[in-house]
Chains A and B, each alone.
Chain A
């Protein structure tokens, strides 16, 4: 696994922050050279990795603004729900951003030349004496300081009656999907005036509504496969080859719940908050309120691996329900080789699980503990009495500090953790830059990991 070292900490400098500064999504580009964050204020910040390994701000732009739907008398928030990078196929970068209703395609490009030379005025803009013009001058392009421009290329709107929770780009690089609570639409990246509805869960009578779509994603290699999860804890795999409408799934991944353990909260905590295909395309990682599960696409009836993220909260569900925390949507991520998974928790903690060794670690992303160039110390939550000084008691967890959004560099051991208005980027101690064999990393860091506490 990792011995994470903070390599960049990025946040508004003043400790005071407004709600608009809260980061709402984090996403690495396909190459990992860029990292984008979106916030509740509708802003997108793009970071670029420097040769030394640090990520620095590359471009910032306002992607969405608050709007008002006059037909439905509804305010539309500017909060960025998701960002997805298009595979980089051109010198410019392209990314999709979405709020609740509108998806936008942004182009971020560099420009290092500007034209010079006017006929009718000088460079300061003063008008020349027309009678002195005796020859025509063609402007010439001269080098200038690098300028990064973000421009909206397409706006995909008016296709969602409910809130958009996911966007995902197809491996054909021509289409993408957008999902709201009840429907999934398929778009062509260059066509904004129409989309095709491929999944529709809306019952004729809204009183019959039993489940909503929570997240949807395309398969990384197979252009015809997509997965979507629902509030009932199921994940469906659809094959777009067989039908134009994918209401009927090809596979349904669902774990039978023991009827004895059913409670009022069973359904709430089983709701899937995130689903991610492994890079290999073989596995699905799902996150529900208390656990993360890895499913083999070839086995529908139960997950191949289940990881408890914070099982100690099981006794606190009532409080969490009252504070609405039970509805928090934690995201999850795979590392580049699919050997480790990562997901967030409360108290600014985030968890990593090594799939082969079954070891896991709890780490904290906060200003107090994150020192530059120092290895993060593992944290442990204890249910009863503290065993060690560094342990923290369940009752003293701060539920307002949550790590919902996490991302893992597509190839390297670099992770990005968003905690409120702070973005922490950690890098493996043993890889200051460049690629590393996973084997080596595991070996060297093994002593730092703790065994999974007995349950």
Chain B
């Protein structure tokens, strides 16, 4: 506050000192641009609102700037959004906590605009400055604002009110508390679904600040009502509130107060509500504790895994691993083996590929929970079946999670089925599928070992280098680097480098360029010796290529591998070639040759 006053008086001084002070000019521009026709300029000005406020001083900010801003609700969303955000940090600029309530009118009008992002930001700022209100100011200024919003004509103000109850409730007197609870109750049964949705989504948050008795009396009845709302979109939000409410209540009350509603939600007629239950299952499981999980959630989860709507099954399948992990340890294995696994087995051959691929992304995680014997006996057949699935995404998801199984049973058990699956993906007609499997190659190579790799997978990696899609060739190049990092330079020299260099004589210039790209990528991993002895001669020879694209890529390659080479070969071998290329008749070749010469300092 003091600091604010100082800067104000200093500005006043300069203003009084002479007519037309230069220091006013930039601020004058900023103020004028608050109403410029160009949105971008207005936005810039709003973002520097603190500068303007500082120049005006706390008094004029309160009496002139804020009233102007309060009425500036016609502007574009992005300007209003920036304004709502700025006002959340404006306390010092209006004179500190003593005057923080002056910020309420502009934020109130922003909290009623029709654009959701602006309203949400205004509510966020209001929540922020609510903490800067003294308890007295909160009751005199802030709480009346919440009430005004809560009983506003338009739904926009009522939805905004929903987010403000929880910040003022803990700090007001018990009479006001009762009023706030009444307002919240009203909004929960508002005519418009938007307000009921807003209330439902804030129900959990509000419950957290309420006294336990009121949670039991007020919140539970509101929760029950919202959970049986006629609108699907309201009911599904009640599921989220269920998590917070269940966390607040003592275990013995859960059964009577929460579980009837939760059971009803898990069997709701609308798949969207059941989807929400499936999606929040892990949170619900933690909130209700192990006993209720055993008795209630296990059958509910089984039903969700068998739901008639694929979206619900997919959401539930996604939660299989997490649900099993969080089961109480004493009965975990029994529950999984007798209740969950049979459902999982059915999902492996589900008709919907999203369900299968959701399952495939988590199923491998079960092996760590079930241990070696169960994995071999029960899970392995499922993995193998999924590796043969018709949908590439399912196979990819299994392959991408191989490490979980490797830890438990070792990968050898799978390798016989793995190979055909990988080969098939590697040759898939869709290039995105091929791209995805390339990305798992280094991981697979690590799991399977160098021997298996050389024998079975190396040829695939080489085939990708001549793929007709550039993105695949590029990924294949990158893949080689990672493999060399894994298996070492010697391995590279024996298995990869000869094949790569062989492509330098390919009739297709794209393949010849691939040689150069590989050299660019590999030189560093392979080291100086291999680069100088094997790669450099090939690159130099290619400088005579008849295709200009190849020649300028030679120049780029030389620039790239230059730092790996010793100065002798740079001077005697690279320099003459680059000089020759710098005199090439093609303008691009010239350009890149000259660039290489200057970067390598060969001039």
Contacts and interface: CB of A to CB of B under 8 A. Distances in A.
B193 A171 contact: yes
Contact of A138 (B24, B68, B155, B272): B68
Contacts of A118: 32, 35
B194 interface: yes
B114 A107 contact: yes
Given A118-B32, A173-B193, A244-B309, A91 B271 contact: no
Contacts of A115: 34-35, 68, 72
Nearest to B269: A241
A138 B65 contact: yes
Contact of B34 (A94, A130, A139, A224): A139
Interface residue tally on A, bucketed by range: 35 or more
Contacts of A130: 20, 25
Given A89-B156, A111-B74, A241-B271, A137 B31 contact: yes
Contacts of B271: 241-244
Contacts of A119: 28-29, 31-32
A92 B155 CA distance: 12
B139 to A, nearest CB: 29
A141 interface: yes
Given A89-B155, A172-B233, A174-B233, A136 B269 contact: no
Given A115-B68, A118-B32, A130-B25, A243 B20 contact: no
B308 interface: yes
A131 B28 CA distance: 12
B20 A131 contact: yes
A135 B65 CA distance: 14
Nearest to B29: A120
A174 B31 contact: no
Interface in B268-327: 269-272, 308-311
Nearest to B274: A241
A52 interface: no
B27 interface: yes
A136 B32 contact: no
The binding surface of chain B is classed by DSSP as helix
Contact of A120 (B28, B192, B309): B28
Nearest to B18: A134
A221 B155 CA distance: 18
Contacts of A137: 31
A174 B194 contact: yes
Interface in B133-161: 154-156
B595 interface: no
Interface in A73-87: 87
B55 A136 contact: yes
Contacts of B71: 113, 141
B194 A173 contact: yes
A290 interface: no
B31 A90 contact: no
A89 B35 contact: no
B116 interface: yes
B240 to A, nearest CB: 16
B19 interface: yes
Contacts of B74: 109, 111
A280 to B, nearest CB: 15
Interface in B198-232: 230-232
A44 B230 CA distance: 34
Given A91-B154, A134-B20, A172 B231 contact: yes
Interface string B106-147: 000000001110000000000000000000000000000000
Interface string B30-47: 011011000000000000
Interface in A120-147: 120-121, 129-141
A223 B19 contact: no
B329 interface: no
B231 A139 contact: no
B56 interface: yes
A145 B429 CA distance: 65
Given A89-B194, A223-B233, A140 B68 contact: yes
Contacts of A111: 74
B64 to A, nearest CB: 4
A243 B231 CA distance: 16
Nearest to B66: A138
A190 B233 CA distance: 15
A254 B28 CA distance: 71
Nearest to A222: B230
A223 B65 CA distance: 45
Interface residues of B, number: 44
B192 A173 contact: yes
Interface in A210-224: 221-224
A113 B230 CA distance: 41
B232 A223 contact: yes
A190 B271 CA distance: 22
A118 to B, nearest CB: 5
A400 to B, nearest CB: 43
A243 B310 CA distance: 8
Contacts of B64: 138, 140
Contacts of B308: 242-243
A121 B32 CA distance: 9
B232 A134 contact: no
Residue of A153, A190, A244 most packed against chain B (CB within 10 A): A244
A113 B75 CA distance: 12
A76 B155 CA distance: 37
Interface string B42-64: 00000000000001100010001
A134 B68 CA distance: 21
A243 B307 CA distance: 10
B68 A90 contact: no
B15 interface: yes
Interface string A286-315: 000000000000000000000000000000
Given A118-B32, A244-B310, A244-B311, A89 B192 contact: yes
A89 B29 CA distance: 38
B17 to A, nearest CB: 10
A190 B25 CA distance: 41
Contact of A134 (B15, B27, B194, B311): B15
Contact of B232 (A133, A140, A241): A241
Given A172-B231, A174-B233, A243-B309, A133 B194 contact: no
Given A90-B156, A139-B35, A244-B310, A134 B19 contact: yes
A292 B309 CA distance: 37
B474 to A, nearest CB: 27
Interface in A139-191: 139-141, 153, 171-174, 190
A195 B68 CA distance: 40
Nearest to A113: B71
B194 A136 contact: no
A138 B56 contact: yes
Given A115-B68, A130-B25, A172-B231, A90 B20 contact: no
A451 B380 CA distance: 79
Nearest to B312: A244
B231 A223 contact: yes
A133 to B, nearest CB: 6
Contacts of B65: 138
24 contacts: A89-B156, A89-B194, A90-B154, A91-B154, A109-B74, A115-B72, A130-B20, A131-B19, A132-B19, A136-B24, A138-B56, A139-B35, A141-B72, A171-B193, A171-B231, A172-B232, A172-B233, A173-B192, A173-B193, A173-B194, A174-B233, A223-B233, A241-B272, A242-B269
Interface of B: 15, 19-21, 24-25, 27-29, 31-32, 34-35, 55-56, 60, 64-65, 68, 71-72, 74, 114-116, 154-156, 192-194, 197, 230-233, 269-272, 308-311
In the complex, the 4 A-B pairs of residues with the closest C-beta atoms, listed nearest first: A119-B28, A131-B20, A241-B270, A138-B64
Given A134-B24, A139-B35, 17 more contacts: A89-B192, A90-B154, A90-B155, A91-B154, A107-B114, A109-B74, A115-B35, A118-B35, A136-B31, A137-B31, A139-B31, A174-B193, A222-B230, A223-B232, A241-B271, A241-B272, A244-B311
